[in-house]
Amino acid sequence: MAEARGGTDREERRELDQLATTIRLRASKLRPARAHLELVERTGLVDSLVRSPASLVVVSAPAGYGKSTLLGQWADAVPVPASWLQLDAADNDPVVFLCYLTAALSKVAPVDPTVADLLQLQTPPIDELILPRLGDALEAAQPFLLVLDDTHLVQSEACWHHVALLLEQLPPGACLALGTRTEAPLPIARLRAAGRLAELRLGDLRLTRAEAAELLRLHGAEAGDEALDGLLELTEGWATGVYLALLAGDGRPASQWLSHVHGDLHAIAGYLTAEVIERQPAELQEFLLRTSVLDQLCPSLCRAVTGTEDSHEHLARLARENLFVTALDDRGEWYRYHHLFAELLATQLERREPDEAPHLHARAAEWYHSRGDDGRAVRHWVRAGDVEAAAWPAFLAVQDYVEHGQVESARRLLDTFTDAELSRHLALTMAAGWLYGTVIGDPSKGERWRHAACSVAVGAECMPDDLGSWRAWQLGLRAFLAPDGVTRMFEDAESGAACEQPSFAHAVESQRVLGVATYLNGVPRRASQAFHELLRDSADPVTRSYGLAFLSLIAADEGRWDDARDLDRQALELTPGMALDLSPGMYMAMPMLLAHTRVLAAGADPDWRQQVGSCEDYLANMVPQIPWRIILICVVLGEIHLEHGELDEADRWAARAEAQLPAGRDAGMLRGRVARLRQAVEELRMADPLTSAERRVLDLLPTQLSAPQIAARLFVSGNTVKTHMSHLYAKLGVTTRTGAVERARELGLLRPPEQS
């Protein structure tokens, strides 16, 4: 008994290791599936592919026509190194896709090992470092073959953009091959016209008469010419259909059953599948149907879903008897059904037990949830129709995906819920507000869900698992977004921090937001204290670098440049990629970008202008476009240019900051900082700077208002306005109102007409 228990424990540990591949790479995706059944050699097609000079080969046909088989046989026969990547729906996330693509390329090209490390960062510098290093590897590579199979499962535009870049940079003699059921979103027509494309489609993949006869022979069956012709006519040379017919016939003469099969290919496949299932023992039939809801199979998962203790034996039998299962590891523990066979099994389950699938999905969800894989658990709960059970795990899974840089995976998970479901469950509302509104900035959903998350009624209840209170989470989100200005931001942040118990996981997040709010409200000493407490309480590198970067900004504000440089250095050592991060929703990078730029500029480092460019790119793509963040970036960049005597650039940034002040309502200390930047620019441009009263008059000179109307607008007397105008003309060296406006625009004191 103890021995049996030990075996189960080891099995559980191995299954947990397999589940960890949500982050770590799964080796089975980097090689062709190993079929247990004897396969027909597609010699003619393989020879034509080996001889082809094409740089892109597309093998396109519906399921079951032997695309993967052909590509695998070609990869074995090609005289150059070959690599393989088996794609699935999880690869729609660009970070996940690039992790696997990098691993596949590393087998045939000298890929810099740091690329794999960079992809593990919370915000991988894809455009800045990763893609250029992959390009360098391709440039140095010898001819190779890279197969991407099941590419129809990837719909992400970003992923296909990476495939297009790969294709453009292939070295001479190298080839990229795609196995797909649909058209690949690549410039196919241009490649075809350039002679760089080879295509194999349904007509090319149909089994010939000789190949069908060979398939039957390999599996101990024979058919006369008439029966063979009837089988080919029935299946249209469809390899899976021929094999299903072989299984369904079970040694009977074709004349006994062939005439009963009719309809389109899917109907024929359904009929044949039913025949195959009916010939299995009752317990195996039930196992097949009930496990059809799973996209991957292991003994303990199958036990949980089916309730049978014989799951391991059933899986071993399916593999042994070639019933359309593919091994996903080297130990015979994880499998998946052939995609078409799984679809057909699910159809049979729906026909025989129409109400059973939700119960099976619910059991699968509980199994995954108990092992910490909330992403898969949520998808099963949704298919079970149990959104209540899915809500909290979905909240956790969205954060976990984002933490690992898999933003698109987080979006795809949340997109499985309807708007009504997101509104009905507090955890989903909060997840939607955070993801759509702050991380992604979805143009159609962002504002709606930000507002919903900030305004939904929350009680005093705590989140599950002692992660914090919903009230604190909402206040922290409101403080980050600051919809009512910086003063209210501080009040929300302080209230949120007061709601949290120190043991709650989100207490650190509340402390971070409080530090920012205190800084923006012009209390740098208290802000420094908050950020030092953040460093004391958090071990997370990204959170710590965020706090260090703000401390560097505070030190620079106070002229403590040695401290500013040291703090910036510490932040860079913790998260070296953050200073390069231009990902729109990765707001944690903002203080690092600003602090590093400021330190480089203060030391006259030659890279400071490039870093300013990175800040400007980040600002252009920043999500969400929160006024205080925009103003802070603009004013810091304006101050940097001012310190370098670049008045036009300083003026440009001052104008951008001023344009945001109305949107920012209460901007805290930023309003005064913008005013000081503007005043410094004007003082440097003019020997005799304008007073604030003269400035107000100058702003109205380009209008059609008369002097008395200007006086009324400013609530001063007409004589006062005339005095200010006289002083303005003298300081600007002009004698007319038109001349004053033109000269002020030349000096940058007024914006050009198109910007006014």
- Asked whether residue 257 carries a pLDDT value surpassing 60, the answer given is no
> What residues form DSSP beta bridges with 179?
59
* Lowest pLDDT segment from 23-32, 532-541, 701-710: 23-32
pLDDT above 70 covers what percent of the chain? 88
Q: Is there a single domain that holds both residue 524 and residue 654?
A: yes
> What residues form DSSP beta bridges with 57?
177, 198
Residue 62's CATH number? 3.40.50.300
Residue 478 lies in a domain: no
Whole-model pTM?
Answer: 0.75
Give the H or E element holding residue 467. none
- Asked whether residue 316 carries a pLDDT value surpassing 70, the answer given is yes
Nearest to 25 by CA among 328, 350, 410, 245: 328
pLDDT recorded at residue 652:
92
Domain boundary among 278, 311, 337: 278
State the residue for tokens 């109907």: 267
Residue 329 lies in a domain: no
Instruction: Specify the number of domains making up the chain.
Output: 4
Q: Is there a single domain that holds both residue 164 and residue 213?
A: no
* Lowest pLDDT segment from 24-28, 157-161, 510-514, 596-600: 24-28
Amino acid identity, position 360? L
Q: Is there a single domain that holds both residue 542 and residue 672?
A: yes
Going by their DSSP bridges, the two strands 335-337 and 325-327 should be labelled as antiparallel
State the residue for tokens 């879903």: 305
Q: Is there a single domain that holds both residue 675 and residue 714?
A: no
Nearest to 205 by CA among 180, 223, 231, 229: 180
* Lowest pLDDT segment from 269-273, 301-305, 379-383, 595-599: 269-273
Q: Is there a single domain that holds both residue 51 and residue 111?
A: yes
Average pLDDT across the chain, whole number: 85
Torsion of CA 471, 472, 476, 482, to 10 degrees: 40
* Lowest pLDDT segment from 368-372, 619-623, 684-688, 712-716: 684-688
Rounded Cα distance between 635 and 624, Å, is 18
Residue 732 lies in a domain: yes
- Asked whether residue 671 carries a pLDDT value surpassing 80, the answer given is yes
Q: What is the number of other CB atoms lying within 10 angstroms of the CB of residue 577?
A: 21
| Contact criterion met (CB below 8 Å) for 530 and 520 | no
Rounded Cα distance between 33 and 446, Å, is 41
pLDDT recorded at residue 22:
37
Q: Is there a single domain that holds both residue 586 and residue 519?
A: yes
- What are residue 326's phi and psi, to 5 degrees? -120, 130
Residue 187 lies in a domain: yes
Structure tokens at 547: 């706090």
Q: How far is CA 256 from CA 224, 231, 248, 260, 261, in A?
A: 13, 13, 11, 8, 11
pLDDT recorded at residue 754:
56
- Asked whether residue 593 carries a pLDDT value surpassing 50, the answer given is yes
Domain boundary among 248, 278, 308: 278
Residue 130 lies in a domain: yes
Q: Is there a single domain that holds both residue 644 and residue 752?
A: no
Residue 290 lies in a domain: no
Q: Is there a single domain that holds both residue 675 and residue 692?
A: no
Residue 476 lies in a domain: no
Query: Residue 201 belongs to what domain range?
Result: 22-205
Nearest to 92 by CA among 151, 30, 152, 154: 154
Q: Is there a single domain that holds both residue 144 and residue 77?
A: yes
Going by their DSSP bridges, the two strands 145-149 and 335-337 should be labelled as unpaired
Q: Is there a single domain that holds both residue 35 and residue 156?
A: yes
> What residues form DSSP beta bridges with 175?
145
Over residues 367-386, mean pLDDT: 95
Domain boundary among 221, 256, 278: 278
- Asked whether residue 293 carries a pLDDT value surpassing 60, the answer given is yes
Q: Is there a single domain that holds both residue 150 and residue 177?
A: yes
DSSP-derived letter for residue 130 is I
Nearest to 625 by CA among 484, 447, 473, 454: 447
pLDDT: is 673 or 33 the higher one?
673
3-state secondary structure of 191: helix
Going by their DSSP bridges, the two strands 82-86 and 145-149 should be labelled as parallel
Residue 488 lies in a domain: no
Nearest to 490 by CA among 442, 436, 530: 530
- Asked whether residue 703 carries a pLDDT value surpassing 60, the answer given is yes
| Contact criterion met (CB below 8 Å) for 319 and 34 | no
Q: Is there a single domain that holds both residue 642 and residue 514?
A: yes
- Asked whether residue 429 carries a pLDDT value surpassing 90, the answer given is yes
